[in-house]
Structure 1
Amino acid sequence: MLTQHDATLAGLRIDGARLWDSLMRLAAIGATPKGGVCRLALTGQDRLGRDFFVAQARAAGCEVRVDAVGNLFARRAGSNDGLPPVMTGSHIDTQPTGGRFDGNYGVLAGLEVLRALNDAGVQTERPLEVAVWTNEEGSRFVPVMMGSGAFVGEFALDHVLGQRDRDGISVRQALAAIGYAGSEAVGGRPVAAYFEAHIEQGPVLEASDVPIGVVTGALGQRWYDVVVTGMEAHAGPTPMAMRRDAMLVSAELVGMVNRIAMERQPHGRATVGCMEVHPNSRNVIPGRIAMTVDLRSDTDAALSGMDRAFREGAAQLAARTGLSIQIEQVVYFPPQPFDARMVASVRAASRRLDLPEMDVISGAGHDAVYLARVAPAAMIFVPCKDGISHNEIEDARPEHLEAGCNVLLQVMLEAANLP
C-alpha cells in the first residue's frame, strides 16, 4: 500500500463514470414515471436503497455498522485506526416527489472517494467513514434531520424511536420491519472532521457558471404557526366596511413578511408556505386563517431582528384591524457557520484542481449543520439545473458531480492525514 507521502494530493481523481452509474442504480430504487424518486424513510424502498449501499460499501472493503436509530456507517480502516474518523455522508430518503441527487449524491460521492483510494492503493492515517443518516427529509417522520440530530444529542433516542407517521407506525416499528434496527450506540464518539457534498438546491452556482460552491455556513431558521381570527359572514349582504375578514388581514401579513426579508438582503428569507382557510366557502367571508411563516438569515442578530419586526408588525396590524393574530414559534435552528479551516481546505482543493469556485451560504438545512456542533465541518455544493430540487425533474450535470467529488476526495485525504 502507498502512503500519503507516496502520492500527491493533486494527482488523485475519482472515476466519474462509476459515480454516475452508482447514482443511476440507486435512482432506479423507487423511481417515478416523471424521472424522480419516491423513497420515503424506513419504507420497503428505503430498505432496498440501504441494501444497495451496504452491498457496495462491503464490496469496497468497508465494515458497515448500524446504530439504534438506523444510521449506517461504512468504515475504511486507517493505519492508525484508533484515531477519530474523517466522516462524510448525507441521506438516501427522499421527498414523495423527490429527485435523483438530493442527499444521494453526498452518500455515493463518499463511497466513490473510498473506491478511488482503493484504486490508488492509498492508506490514510485516520479511518474514513461514509454515513447514511436516517430520515433527513422528514417526509414520513418528524423531526427532520432525525438521524444526524440524534447522533449529536439534539434528540433523545427514546423520543425519536417513539415518533409515529400518519398511519400510527413508530420509528421503532419501522426500523424493525425493514431490518435496520441497529445495535450500535447513537453518537457519543469523536469525529475528526465532517464533509458533505450536495447539490446546491438553488440557482446561484448555475447562474454564475461556477461548478464549486464553498459553503461557509447555513442560514438560521425560525418557523411559526400563525392564526388570524375574524368572523365569518355572508359575502353578499355584508358591507365591505363592516367586515372582519381574516383573509384580508392575512394577505396584508403575507406582504409584511415578504418586506421583512426584502429589507435584509442578501441573506434574508421569508416564506408563507401553507394556508388553511375556514370555512373555505366561495360565498362566506373567511373567519379564520391558519398559516405558516418561515424566516431565515445568516446571523442570529439578523434573525432575531426579523423575529422582532414580524411580531411588532403583527401586533400593529391586529391593533389597527381589531382582529386577533396569534403567533407560535415551532422551530428554531440557529445560524451555523462552518469551520474556517475546513472551509479553507475546500477552497484550496478547488483551486488545486483548477475548478472555479465561489463562497455560498446554504439556505437549507443539512445533516452537516448538526455535525458541525460536534466536529469541524464543511460542505461542497455543485450546481443543479435551474436551481430545482425537491422535484422529480431535479437534475445535475455529470461533470459537475465529478468535480465536486474530486474536491471531496482532496479534502478528506488532507484531513485524514492532519496531525
Structure 2
Amino acid sequence: MRRKGLPREDVLSSIQSSREKDVPWTRVLNSICTRPHPLAAEVFQEGLDTNLGDVRIFRGTHELERRAVALMGALLGKESCAGSLVSGGTEANLLALYVARKLATQRRGGLSGPPEVIAAETVHYSVQKIFDLLGITPRIAPVDARLRMDVKAAEALVNERTIALIGTAGTSEFGSVDPIEELSRLAVERDLYLHVDAATGGFIIPFARELGRPLPRFDFSLPGVASITMDPHKYGLVNVPAGAIFFRDPALQSLISLESFFARTPTHRTFLGTRPGGAALATYAVLEHLGWDGFLEATRTNYDNMAYLVERLEARGHSLRVPPELNIVIVDLPAAVQVMELLEQWDWIISISKRYSDCLRLVVNAHVTRPVIDAFVEALDGAMAELGLASCGTD
C-alpha cells in the first residue's frame, strides 16, 4: 500500500483503463448473466451500505428481501415457501444439500456410512465442491440423447445410503431440462429429498411454458420437490451477486441454524453471514417493475432472437447437436476449439464444453440482439475462412 494516496482522478483513470480491457456485452455469447436492468443498477446503489447479516439495523431492507422471496415463491408455485437471497447458485445448492444431509441424519438416527446423492452427468460442476465439503459421495446417472437425466438409470442407483436427488431445470452447459416431474414421483415413492437446480431456468421456464414451449414443471406444484435454486442475476436481470434458495417447508430451512454471539440477533440461515442488501433491493425492484408480463415479453424476445440465430446458422449449413430447450444453442462444428480461440482474439466470447469439444455453445440473453447476431455470424464466417474451414452456405 502507498504511504500517500493517489489523487481521485488518477485512481479513476486507472480503473477506466483496466475496464477498457473487458469485453463489451455486445460481443458476449457465452454468458447466462447479462447487463442488469437499469432499475436494478440504480437501486443496487441504494443498498451499498446495507448488510442483511444484521437485520436489527437494516429492518426495511430485510422486509424487502422477504417480499422478493414471496414474489419468487409465487413464481415457483408456493408464495409461502421459505427462502433467502444468497450469493448465487453454488451457495444455494450447498444450503439445499446441507439440509438434505441433516434431514437424513435426523430421520435415520445417524448415517451408517458416507451419504450418497444422485445427479445427472450434466449437473453443474460446482456441485462437486459441495460433495467434497459435505462428505457426500456422488452417484452419477447418464443422460439421454437430448442430454437430460435418464430417470430409470437414476432409480437403479438408489440404495440405503441415498439421501437426495438433484434435478437440473436448465443445465448451464446445454440448457437441457431434466424430467423433474418423473424425479418428483421417484422422490415420493422412495421417500427421498429432491432438490431442483433452476439457477439457469428458473426465470425462463414459467414464462416459456405460457408461450407454449414444451417444458416440464419443475416447481413446488410437484409434491416431491423439497428445495429449489434460482438466480435473479441470470435471466432475472439483476446485478451480481443475487442468487436465491427456496424450501417447500419452513421446517426444512430451520435446519440451517447458526446463532451469533449477541442477544436479539436473529439466527443466520445462509452460509454467508455478511450479505449485500443491494441484491435484495434490486431483485425486489425488478420483480415489481416488470411483473409477469414484463418477464413474459423478455422471454419471448430471447426465444425469437434464438430462432433468428438458428435460422442464420442453418442457412450457412450448420446443424444443431440437440434442439434447444432454453436459450442455449449447441452447434456442431469441426475444429470448434480453434474457431473459439480465433474469435476470442477478435473479442468475441463463446464457449465449448470440454466433453463435447466439437460443438459451439451460444447463449442468447437480453444483450444478444439481432444486430449482435448478424455481427457474430459474420465473425464466425471470417474465422472459419481464416482457418480454411469452408462455410457450408449463405443466407
Q: How would you bin the TM-score normalised by the shorter chain?
A: under 0.3
Richer in strand (by share):
1
Which of structures 1 and 2 has the bigger CA Rg? 1
Q: With structure 2 as the length reference, what TM-score do the two structures score?
A: 0.22
Q: With structure 1 as the length reference, what TM-score do the two structures score?
A: 0.21
